[in-house]
Structure 1
Amino acid sequence: MLPFTYALRNLFRDPARLAQTVGGSALVVLLLIAAVALNQGMNQVLASSGSAENVILMGKGSEESIERSEVHLEAESAAATSVRGLEEQLGVSAVSGEIFYQAPLQTASGKVEQALLRGVLESALLVHESVRLLEGRFPQSGEVMVGHLAHRKLGVDASETAVGKFVMFEDARFEIVGVFEAPGTVLESEVWFDRNDLATVTQRDTLSSITLRLGDAEFDDVEVFTLQRNDLELAAIREDAYYDKLSVFYKPIQVMTWVTAGLVAAGAIFGGLNTLYAAFAARVKEMATLQSIGYTRWALFVSLIQESLLATLSGTLLAFVVAYFLLDGQTVPFSVGTFTLTLTPTVLGVGLIAGVLLGTVGTLPPAFRCLAPALPTALRSN
C-alpha cells in the first residue's frame, strides 16, 4: 500500500482543484443538513403541539381546519356537564372554548404581518399545560398575551412584543400584558386575546373549537356525547391526531425542500465529477509508473480514495461549522407557527454519511477510468 502521506501531498498539488472539491462537498452537505433540519424541526413542533390527553370538538365537516370550524357557544357548558371524568382543578373542569383567527396584526413599529390569534379564557391554561408565563399576567379585556416566539412570526424584534408594548388589530389597540412559553409547540408563536374581545372584533357569535382534557374519561365518552347531541353538530378528534393531519398537509412542502436540495446537490456533484475526471486523467502516466515499480492497482485505487475522502471530509467539517453558526438555533416561521432548526445527532449523521459517500462513490468512475488503461499504453500517454 502507498503511504498515507502520498495522498496528503497530492491533495495540495493543485490548490484550485482542492478548493473546488472542498467547496462543492461543503455545499452539498450544508444543503442536506438544512433540508433534514427543516423537515425534522417542522415534524417535531407539530408532533409536540398535540397532547394525547386532549380532545378537540369542532364543527362537523370542518375537522381539517380549526380556523374554518364553527361551534355553538352552548356546546362548551354542555360538554363540561355531560362528559364525566374530565380533569378538574379546584372543581373547574378542564374545558376551553376557543376562537382561532388568522389575520394581519400591526405592531408598535407599524409593521403589519399575518399572525395566528387565539381567543381564550383562563380555562385555556387547564388544557394547555405546557403554557407557562415568563412575565406579566393573563390578558383581560383590551389586552393580549403573546408567545415568546411571536416576534419571529411577525418579523419584528423581540422588543416589539415585550410587556408594555401594544398591537393593533382592526383599528383597535391592545396592550401586551404577558409573555408565555410552550416549549416545542406552535402555541409559542400565537397571540392570545380575551375571547370576548376577539369575538367582538371579528363579529362572530360562535367558537372555533372546544378543547377538553381527559382525566378518567376516555375518548369514546367524548364521541358518545357528540352523537347524543346531534343538534350541536360536533365532531371529536384527539389533539395529537389533529396535528398529525397537519403534518401530512405540509408533506408537499417538505418534499419540495428535498427536491430543491437534491437539484442543487446534483449540480455540485456533477461539477465535482468533472473536476476529478480532469485531475485523474492527467495522472494516468503517474499511476502507470507506480505500477511499474511494484504497486498494485488496488493500492493506487485506495490512495485515490484516501485523497478524495480527505477533501470531501474537509468540506463536511466546513459545512458543520457554517451550519453551527448560521442554522443551529434559528427559528423558521410557517403558516401555523414557528419551529427551531437544531443540529441533532441525526442531522449531523446524515451530513457525515453524505461526505463519506461523496469521497468514495463519487470517486469510483474517475478512479476506474484513470487505472483502466493497460500498463504499456498508460506509460506512453502524455
Structure 2
Amino acid sequence: MLPFTYAVRNLFRDPGRMLQTIGGSALVVLLLVAAVALNQGMNNVLSASGAENNIILVGKGSEESMERSEVHLESETISATSIRGLDTQLGVAAVSGEIFYQAPLVTDSGVESQALLRGVFEKALLVHQSVRVIDGRFPGPGEVMVGRLSHRKLGVQTDDLKLGKSVRFEQEKLRIVGIFEAPGTVLESEIWFDRNDLANLTQRDTLSSITLKLDDAEFDDVHVFTLQRNDLELAAIRESDYYAKLSKFYQPIKVMTWVTAALVSAGAIFGGLNTLYAAFASRIREMATLQSIGYTRKALLLSLIQESLLATMTGTLSAFLLAYFLLDGLTVPFSTGTFSITLSPLVIGVGLIAGILLGTLGPLPPAIRCLAPPLPKALRSS
C-alpha cells in the first residue's frame, strides 16, 4: 500500500486541475442537493396542508380545483345540521364555507401581483387549526388578514404587508388588520378576506368549498350525505387527498427539475473525466516505476482513488457550504403558495453519497487506462 501522503502530495501537483476537479464535483453535488431540496420542500408543504380529519365538500366535477368549484350557500347550513359526529367548539360546528379566488392584488407601493385570496368567517379557525393569529386580529368588513409568507407570493417587501397598510382589489381599498401563521402549509401564502366582502367584490353568490372537521363521524358519513342530497350537487374529498392530487399535478415540474440537474451534472461529470484522463495519462511512466519497485496495480489504483476522493469530497464540502448560505431557509413561491428549502438529513445524505460515488467511480476508467499498458511499454512512454 502506498502511504496516504502520496495521494495528498499528488493532489497539489497541478493546482489548476485540482481546482477543476473540485469545482466540477461541487457543481454536481450542489445541483443534486438543490433538486432534492426543491422537490422535498414542495412535497412537504402540500402534504402538511391537508388534515386527515378534515373533509372538503366541492361542486361535482371540481374535485381537483376549489377555484372552479361552485357550492350553493345553503349547503353550509344543511351539511352542519345533517351530518352527525362533526367536531364542535362551544356548541359551534366546525364547518366553514369558503370562497377561494386567485387574482391580481395591488399593494400601497404600487406592486401588482397574483395573490391567493380566501373569503372566510371566524369559524374557519375551527377547521384550519394550524392557523394562528400572531399579530392584530381577524378581519371584518373592509379588512384583510395576511399570511406570514404572503409577501413572498406577491414578490414584495415584508413592510408592504404589515399592520396598518392597505391592499387594493377590484378598486376597493382594504386595510390589513391581522397577520397569521400556519407553519409548513400553503395557507401562510394566502390573504384572508371577510367572506361577504370577497363575495361582493367577485360578484359571487356561491361558495367555493365547505370544510368540515370530523369528530366521531367518518368520511363515509359525509360521502353518504352527498349521495342523499343530489340536489346540492356535492362531492366529498379528504383534505389530505386534495393536496396529494395537487402534488401529482406538479409532478412535471419536479421531473423538469431533475432533468435540468441531470443535464448540467452530465456536462460537469464529462468535463471532470476529461481532466482525470489528461492528469493520469501523464503519469503512466510514474505508475510503471512504482510497479517496478514492488507496488501492485491494486495498490496504485487505490491511491489514485484516494487522490480523487480528496478532491471530490472537498468539492462536496464546498457545495454544502454554498447550499447553506444560498438555499437553506429560502422560500420559493409557486402557483399554490410558497415552500421553504431545508437542508434536511435526506438532502445532505444524497449530496454526500453523490460526492463519494464521484470520487470512487469517476476515476476508475482513466485509472484503469493508466495502469493497463504492460510494464516495459509503460516505462518507455514519454
For residue 331 of structure 2, what is the amino acid of its counterpart?
T
Measure the CA separation in 1 of the matches of 2:32 and 2:223. 44
Measure the CA separation in 2 of the matches of 1:53 and 1:87. 10
Residue 128 of structure 1: aligned partner: 128
CA RMSD of aligned residues (A): 0.4
Residue 84 of structure 2: aligned partner: 84
Residue 25 of structure 1: aligned partner: 25
Residue 318 of structure 1: aligned partner: 318
Measure the CA separation in 1 of the matches of 2:141 and 2:362. 64
Residue 113 of structure 1: aligned partner: 113
For residues 123-202 of structure 1, the aligned pairs below 5 Å read 123-202=123-202
Measure the CA separation in 1 of the matches of 2:140 and 2:61. 32
Residue 223 of structure 2: aligned partner: 223
CA deviations 1:301-323 (Å, max 9, x no partner) are 00000000000000000000000
Shift of 1:267: 0.2
- Aligned identity (percent) is 76
Measure the CA separation in 1 of the matches of 2:107 and 2:282. 63
Match status 1:270 vs 2:270: yes
Which runs of at least 4 in structure 1 moved beyond 3 Å after TM superposition?
Answer: none
Match status 1:374 vs 2:374: yes
Say how many residue pairs are matched. Answer: 382
Measure the CA separation in 2 of the matches of 1:33 and 1:324. 10
Measure the CA separation in 1 of the matches of 2:20 and 2:174. 55
Measure the CA separation in 1 of the matches of 2:330 and 2:232. 43
CA deviations 1:179-217 (Å, max 9, x no partner) are 000010000000000000000000010000000000111
Measure the CA separation in 2 of the matches of 1:76 and 1:202. 19
Measure the CA separation in 1 of the matches of 2:302 and 2:293. 17
Residue 363 of structure 2: aligned partner: 363
Measure the CA separation in 2 of the matches of 1:113 and 1:362. 47
Shift of 1:54: 0.2
Residue 3 of structure 1: aligned partner: 3
- Structure 2 residue runs of 5 or longer lacking an equivalent are none
CA deviations 1:82-124 (Å, max 9, x no partner) are 0011000010000000000000111111001111100000110
For residue 16 of structure 2, what is the amino acid of its counterpart?
A
- Structure 1 residue runs of 5 or longer lacking an equivalent are none
Measure the CA separation in 1 of the matches of 2:34 and 2:162. 31
Measure the CA separation in 2 of the matches of 1:65 and 1:28. 37
Measure the CA separation in 1 of the matches of 2:21 and 2:134. 48
Measure the CA separation in 2 of the matches of 1:220 and 1:2. 70
For residue 265 of structure 1, what is the amino acid of its counterpart?
S
Measure the CA separation in 1 of the matches of 2:47 and 2:266. 32
CA deviations 1:124-162 (Å, max 9, x no partner) are 000000000110000000000010000000001111111
CA deviations 1:207-241 (Å, max 9, x no partner) are 00000000111111111111111000000000000
Task: Provide TM-score, normalisation by structure 1.
Answer: 1.00
For residue 47 of structure 1, what is the amino acid of its counterpart?
S
For residue 261 of structure 2, what is the amino acid of its counterpart?
A
Shift of 1:80: 0.4
Measure the CA separation in 2 of the matches of 1:184 and 1:372. 55
Measure the CA separation in 2 of the matches of 1:200 and 1:158. 28
Residue 62 of structure 1: aligned partner: 62
